[in-house]
Amino acid sequence: MTLLMVTLALHGCKDKEDDFKWQIDQFADIRIMRYRIPGFEQLSPQQRVLIYYLSEAAKCGRDIIWDQNYKHNLAIRSIIEGIYSGYTGERSGEQWEQFMIYLKRVWFSNGIHHHYSSDKILPGFSTEYLTELINLTPDKFFSSLLGGKERIKEIYIPIIVDPTIAPKRVNQDAGIDMVVQSACNYYEGVTQIEAERFYADMANPTDSTPISYGLNSKLVKENGKLFEKVWCIGGMYGKAIERIVFLLEKAAALAENEQQQKIIEKLIEYYKTGDLRKFDEYNILWVNDLQSRVDFVNGFIETYGDPLGYKASWESVVNFRDEEATRRTRIISNNAQWFEDHSPIDDRFKKKEVRGVTAKVITVAQLGGDCYPSTPIGINLPNADWIRKVHGSKSVTMDNITYAYDQAALGNGFLEEFAWSEEEVDLNKRYGYLASSIHTDLHECLGHGSGQLAEGVKGDELKNYGSPLEEARADLFALYYIMDPKMVELGLMPSLDVARVQYSNYIRNGLMTQLTRVELGKNIEQAHMRNRQLIAKWCYEQGRADNIIERMEREGKTYFVVNDYEKLRQLFGQLLREIQRVKSTGDFEAGKSLVETYAVKVDYDLHKQLLERFAKLNIAPYGGFVNPLIVPIIQGDSVVDAKVEYPSSYVEQMMEYSKKYSYLPLYN
Ligand code: ZN
């Protein structure tokens, strides 16, 4: 009885979802949703308070990611929020609406560059209007550090409206100086060659446990000398990190067990010193903690925002394990060796012993930094290759986030528009959620962790092609195995129809629907998108003679239909084998050729058609989330418990965050 009640309570929300509003805002190419935290009430009060402190810490690094994305971001945010708060003119009409759209977009991207394409966001209002907005906002709404309205207009209006100033946050075009041409704030006065040489000199080729060079610092050149400004207490971003540490100390006192307490304390040590050895020690402790129910990421983690892939953006995810759904990934991870042994890759690159593939499904309680409002749906950490090899990695899928996506998307007409047949649509409604969940499990739990590098290969040889190829490797692993009869045997899916849904979806997305996120005439830039087109297009081309994937036309609309699932599976296997070889041997030229041939360029006519079809549906291609409120329950001066509330205003949450969690000066 108790068990049943718990189960009902965990999933109870699914029955009452009719009255829960998943999507709460839409503007430009963005839709804002909410996610629920099922199971929070079943945690102990101590766990709930722990989550409260970690959630506060998740929000305190918000300014860091803004500053990392572009050095003028915090100043611009303070100006446009000042206008929003204080503008005395008419708050209606086309120009005002355009201002609000701009403000919301900048919030969403944690800066003035698009969160996904990294192109500068250009406002839809006129320069004259911006001047008027500033003029009609009382001085007290602007930070005195900005030096008054005249200076604001002179310096910041061009930064906001001029498309030639800082046009791209991350520019990885071939043949340019990627450091100089990228607006991100990871380098100053430094060229790409100088930065690469700086870190090449630092690396010791015989070190089998190298730190992640450059991960937590800005590289600057002053008076002809290169040095790192380290992000730690007393260093760059020190004020925000101090606050994070203050909250982590509160959390450490509430840890569920000794191991978790040690983890938090090690993270604090790292934040205090900026010592990357301590970060590695922290990661090793963290990856070995399989016991704690509550878990979190808080730090400088992913390097996608640096064109050279050294510097990590600040992010946080607070979560707790979803015990029931974790069963699924446990089955997968328990069979990790079987998957590795049967993988279609060259035996030389197989791990003889797959270790530490832990897998769990989590319920997200709070998102912060680079994970907010736009969030990943899975995490696989740590990133350092040698730690993964020796200690394994931790993989999680964020089930309440994907579930929210799924619920918000039901019935928006997207699938009906791009799927060839009604049968495809029906199968999708039946198995789509399960199919994408299992794909994510395989990608995160096994895909990234499989395979090994050849002797002498360090793992950074593929440079800017490394990210899309790594994602392709993990996706291909998932695609290859989701169609394996073993999946049904293990009780993970009722039939291989689930895999067929995933194949159709993957090809449709890789060749068509993901392009709805790319501007007409532009190339594909983002690593995950490059990976998906690389796989889909390569298979389409290779399978042409056998008509494995067929391009169909109906009433002027294009569709891609998978004709032979088993043969498509073999193609996935072949490409996995090749990409594993490229990674394992560090074959830069072959990796570059795969990406440049299949992943980057877009068929203009098809793209145009897709955008027209998509426009009619009026769906924003990108989604993101507001956070639930974790509200502390206070007795005397201590927090004794916490509860969850679901706010429904994106604007209010953003304004509140700027007010409550601004710990950095406008320039750092
Ligand atoms: Zn991945």
Q: What is the pLDDT of residues 370-386, one digit of tens each?
A: 999 999 988 889 999 99
- The model's confidence at residue 325, banded by pLDDT at 50, 70 and 90, is confident
517/579 Cα distance (integer angstroms): 26
Instruction: Please name the amino acid found at residue 372.
Output: Y
444 alpha carbon – ligand 1 mean position (Å): 6
Token pair of 348 as six digits: 């030389």
66 alpha carbon – ligand 1 mean position (Å): 24
617/609 Cα distance (integer angstroms): 13
Give the pLDDT of residue 357: 60
Q: Point out which residues pair with 361 in neighbouring strands.
A: 397
- In this predicted model, what pLDDT tens digit does every residue of 132-147 receive, in sequence order? 999 999 999 999 999 9
Q: Is the pLDDT of residue 12 over 50?
A: no
79/75 Cα distance (integer angstroms): 6
Q: Point out which residues pair with 316 in neighbouring strands.
A: 298, 368
- The model's confidence at residue 10, banded by pLDDT at 50, 70 and 90, is very low
Give the pLDDT of residue 149: 97
Q: What mean pLDDT is predicted for residues 261-275?
A: 98
376 alpha carbon – ligand 1 mean position (Å): 9
Give the pLDDT of residue 313: 98
468 alpha carbon – ligand 1 mean position (Å): 9
- In this predicted model, what pLDDT tens digit does every residue of 75-115 receive, in sequence order? 999 999 999 999 999 999 999 999 999 999 999 999 999 99
Pairing, β 629-635 against β 622-626 = unpaired
Q: What mean pLDDT is predicted for residues 507-533?
A: 95
Q: What radius of gyration do the chain's Cα atoms show?
A: 25
- In this predicted model, what pLDDT tens digit does every residue of 566-606 receive, in sequence order? 999 999 999 999 999 999 999 999 999 999 999 999 999 99
Give the pLDDT of residue 358: 54
Residue 655 neighbours by CB under 8 Å, 6+ apart: 81, 84, 85
- The model's confidence at residue 8, banded by pLDDT at 50, 70 and 90, is very low
Give the pLDDT of residue 15: 39
Q: Point out which residues pair with 551 in neighbouring strands.
A: 560
Least confident among 166-170, 231-235, 392-396, 604-608: 392-396
Mean pLDDT (the chain, rounded): 93
479 alpha carbon – ligand 1 mean position (Å): 13
Alpha helix (H) ranges present in 60-148? 62-69, 73-86, 94-109, 127-135
Burial of 434 (C-beta count, 10 Å sphere; 0-12/13-18/19+): middle
Alpha helix (H) ranges present in 465-587? 466-482, 485-489, 497-511, 527-542, 565-585
Q: Name which of 467, 470, 458 is nearest 212 in CA terms.
A: 458
Give the pLDDT of residue 16: 45
Residue 453 neighbours by CB under 8 Å, 6+ apart: 349, 385, 459, 583, 584, 586
Give the pLDDT of residue 377: 87
Give the pLDDT of residue 412: 82
**Number of residues in the chain:** 668
Q: Is the pLDDT of residue 282 over 80?
A: yes
198 alpha carbon – ligand 1 mean position (Å): 28
Give the pLDDT of residue 14: 41
Q: Is the pLDDT of residue 18 over 60?
A: no
448 alpha carbon – ligand 1 mean position (Å): 7
Q: What mean pLDDT is predicted for residues 178-196?
A: 98
Give the pLDDT of residue 9: 32
Give the pLDDT of residue 395: 79
Token pair of 83 as six digits: 């206008």
Q: Is the pLDDT of residue 7 over 80?
A: no
362 alpha carbon – ligand 1 mean position (Å): 16
Q: What mean pLDDT is predicted for residues 469-481?
A: 97
Q: Is the pLDDT of residue 456 over 50?
A: yes
225 alpha carbon – ligand 1 mean position (Å): 37
Q: Is the pLDDT of residue 324 over 80?
A: no
Omega cis (within 30) before 621: no
Q: Is the pLDDT of residue 182 over 70?
A: yes
CB atoms within 10 A of CB 484: 17
- C-alpha 621: how far from chain center: 15
251-287 per-residue burial string, b: 16 or more CB within 10 A, e: under 16: bbebbbeeebbbbbbbbbebbbbbbbebbbbbbbbbb
Burial of 501 (C-beta count, 10 Å sphere; 0-12/13-18/19+): buried
- The model's confidence at residue 246, banded by pLDDT at 50, 70 and 90, is very high
Q: What mean pLDDT is predicted for residues 310-322?
A: 97
528 alpha carbon – ligand 1 mean position (Å): 8
Q: What is residue 106's three-state secondary structure?
A: helix
665/668 Cα distance (integer angstroms): 6
Give the pLDDT of residue 17: 47
197 alpha carbon – ligand 1 mean position (Å): 28
Please give the residue that has the higher pLDDT: either 361 or 135: 135
401 alpha carbon – ligand 1 mean position (Å): 16
User: To which residue do tokens 């040889």 refer?
Assistant: 461
- The string of DSSP letters for 133-149 reads HHHTS-GGGS-GGG--H
Give the pLDDT of residue 410: 73
563/463 Cα distance (integer angstroms): 36
632 alpha carbon – ligand 1 mean position (Å): 35
667/243 Cα distance (integer angstroms): 18
CB atoms within 10 A of CB 322: 24
- The model's confidence at residue 512, banded by pLDDT at 50, 70 and 90, is very high
Alpha-carbon distance values, 150 to 125, 137, 142, 153, 621 (Å): 20, 13, 12, 5, 38
131/444 Cα distance (integer angstroms): 48
246 alpha carbon – ligand 1 mean position (Å): 32
217 alpha carbon – ligand 1 mean position (Å): 24
Q: What mean pLDDT is predicted for residues 409-421?
A: 89
475 alpha carbon – ligand 1 mean position (Å): 7
Give the pLDDT of residue 330: 86
Residue 399 neighbours by CB under 8 Å, 6+ apart: 322, 325, 361, 362, 363, 437
Contact 170, 305 (CB under 8 A): yes
Token pair of 548 as six digits: 């494995």
328 alpha carbon – ligand 1 mean position (Å): 19
Residue 345 neighbours by CB under 8 Å, 6+ apart: 450, 451, 576, 577, 580, 581
Give the pLDDT of residue 1: 27
397 alpha carbon – ligand 1 mean position (Å): 11
447 alpha carbon – ligand 1 mean position (Å): 8
Alpha-carbon distance values, 620 to 27, 492, 511 (Å): 8, 32, 19
Please provide the distance, in angstroms rounded to a whole number, between the alpha carbons at the two ends of the chain: 57
Q: What is residue 262's three-state secondary structure?
A: helix
Give the pLDDT of residue 417: 96
Give the pLDDT of residue 408: 85
- pLDDT > 90: what percent of the chain? 86
465 alpha carbon – ligand 1 mean position (Å): 14
Give the pLDDT of residue 621: 83
Q: Is the pLDDT of residue 316 over 80?
A: yes
- C-alpha 146: how far from chain center: 32
CB atoms within 10 A of CB 5: 11
99 alpha carbon – ligand 1 mean position (Å): 35
Q: Is the pLDDT of residue 427 over 90?
A: yes
271 alpha carbon – ligand 1 mean position (Å): 26
Q: What mean pLDDT is predicted for residues 552-571?
A: 97
443 alpha carbon – ligand 1 mean position (Å): 6
Least confident among 3-7, 372-376, 398-402, 589-593: 3-7
CB atoms within 10 A of CB 356: 18
345 alpha carbon – ligand 1 mean position (Å): 18
Please give the residue that has the higher pLDDT: either 444 or 274: 274
Q: What mean pLDDT is predicted for residues 505-527?
A: 95
474 alpha carbon – ligand 1 mean position (Å): 6
Burial of 207 (C-beta count, 10 Å sphere; 0-12/13-18/19+): exposed
- pLDDT > 70: what percent of the chain? 96
Q: Where are the domains of the chain?
A: 3-12+22-42+322-625, 63-169+634-660
Q: Is the pLDDT of residue 5 over 50?
A: no
